[in-house]
Structure 1
Amino acid sequence: MNDEGKPVLYAIVTGSPAAHDVGTLVELAQADGWDVCVIASPYGLRFIDADALAAKTGHTVRSQYKDPGTPDVLPPADAMIAAPITANSLAKWAAGIADTLVLGLLVEAVGKGLPVVAVPFSNRAHLGFPAIQDAIAKLSGWGVTMVTSQPHKPGNGASQIPLFPWGSAWQALLDHPRTSLTS
């Protein structure tokens, strides 16, 4: 909870063009009374307007670990939605690799038992790769709710961006069995 007693959502984006529309998720969560912080992977930062999102949320968009000994500028998360999350980030997350702020937060969230929803967005070839399928299965087994978007043909992702399931991701978090513990 933030200082005003609102639950805090970390909206996490990785390097996908679908990240451009994360403001849709911000609006859905804010309409339900949540405080939202956007956190982007270094590649995810390329696809968003960090200044506009900071203005919309009242929080700096973070993409790097903070310096040792400095206070965190964001309130602690009560829940996280990783949307869109790339195949690369899924594989690293399931392996416990925390080489970016986004992955460090996601690894920690599973360890803390926070409600987490992930929406993989990549092409069929990536998402069908056995190691990525294993990552999805492991993360699901550890309590992460996976919301599926339609896997697309390689090179055809731009046509799928308007269909990205922001509303389904938000509803999955509201329905997550651990969310009742935080809101």
Structure 2
Amino acid sequence: MTGPHPRSEHRPVLYVIACGSPLARHVGRLVELAQQVGWEVCLVTTPDGAKFVDRAALARLTGHPVRTHYKNAGDPDLLPPADAMIVCPATVNTVNKWAAGITDTLALGLLVEGQGKGLPVVVVPFTNSAMAAHPAFQAGLSRLREWGTTVLFGDHVFPLHPPGAAERHLHAFPWEAAVAALPDRCDSAAA
């Protein structure tokens, strides 16, 4: 991992939200790719996502603390406001709760609020073929698409793996696709 991108008030802010998946161990790659195209990146994890990431390394990389929990009332915000969000890796649990409007974690609260603010949001699920077959997950993805979320999911993005085989497929994950799906906000923010 490289060092944090120099801070500038002209760079748009991207929240990367990582869920509880072995793929989250490699989320630094997504952070670096977004920084390379001019985003200031802040990392938020779900409580299960926090189990997979190196918080200290990612805080050094982004220049911001890695957030997992809601702040206490009256505490200052530790992160600048988001201009866009990427949820990657997104789990079936997070997609289902988000589509239902549940905000029982900071990550979900930010997603529901960001959607209400009209922020661009990209979601990239990482799950196995059995979990992906559940009707609630499929309905949740459809609902998120209808609400304007960019959903990157399917064999054209990343083929599903069988249950228990996630570790064998982490190396081939297309992190670049998530960044490429973001709107070109960097040029407009600098103008």
**TM-score under structure 1 length normalisation:** 0.93
User: What are the superposed Cα offsets for residues 90-130 of structure 1, whole Å, 9 maximum, x if unpaired?
Assistant: 00000000000000001111111100000000111111111
Could you tell me how far 1:174 is from its partner in structure 2?
3.4
Is the Cα–Cα contact under 8 Å of residues 122 and 152 in structure 1 kept in the other structure? yes
Could you tell me how far 1:70 is from its partner in structure 2?
1.1
2:63 is equivalent to residue 19 of structure 1: no
User: What are the superposed Cα offsets for residues 122-144 of structure 1, whole Å, 9 maximum, x if unpaired?
Assistant: 11111111110000000011111
Aligned Cα root-mean-square deviation (Å): 1.6
Paired residue secondary structure (1:82): strand
1:138 paired residue among 143, 147, 156:
143
Q: How far, CA to CA, are the matches of 2:186 and 2:67 in structure 1? A: 27
Q: How far, CA to CA, are the matches of 1:180 and 1:56 in structure 2? A: 19
Q: How far, CA to CA, are the matches of 1:32 and 1:174 in structure 2? A: 11
Is the Cα–Cα contact under 8 Å of residues 78 and 182 in structure 1 kept in the other structure? no
Q: Which residue number in structure 2 is paired with residue 51 of structure 1?
A: 56
Q: How far, CA to CA, are the matches of 1:142 and 1:80 in structure 2? A: 15
Q: Which runs of 4+ in 1 moved over 6 A?
A: none
User: What are the superposed Cα offsets for residues 20-67 of structure 1, whole Å, 9 maximum, x if unpaired?
Assistant: 111111111111111100000110001100000000110000000000
Paired residue secondary structure (1:174): coil
Unaligned 5+ residue runs, structure 1? none
Q: How far, CA to CA, are the matches of 1:67 and 1:182 in structure 2? A: 34
Which amino acid in 2 is paired with 1:168?
A
Unaligned 5+ residue runs, structure 2? 1-6
2:96 paired residue among 88, 91, 94:
91
Which amino acid in 2 is paired with 1:139?
L
Q: Which residue number in structure 2 is paired with residue 75 of structure 1?
A: 80
Percent pairwise identity = 53
Q: Which residue number in structure 1 is paired with residue 44 of structure 2?
A: 39
Is the Cα–Cα contact under 8 Å of residues 98 and 112 in structure 2 kept in the other structure? yes
1:160 paired residue among 160, 163, 169:
169
Could you tell me how far 1:180 is from its partner in structure 2?
7.7
Q: Which residue number in structure 2 is paired with residue 129 of structure 1?
A: 134
Number of residue pairs aligned between Structure 1 and Structure 2: 179
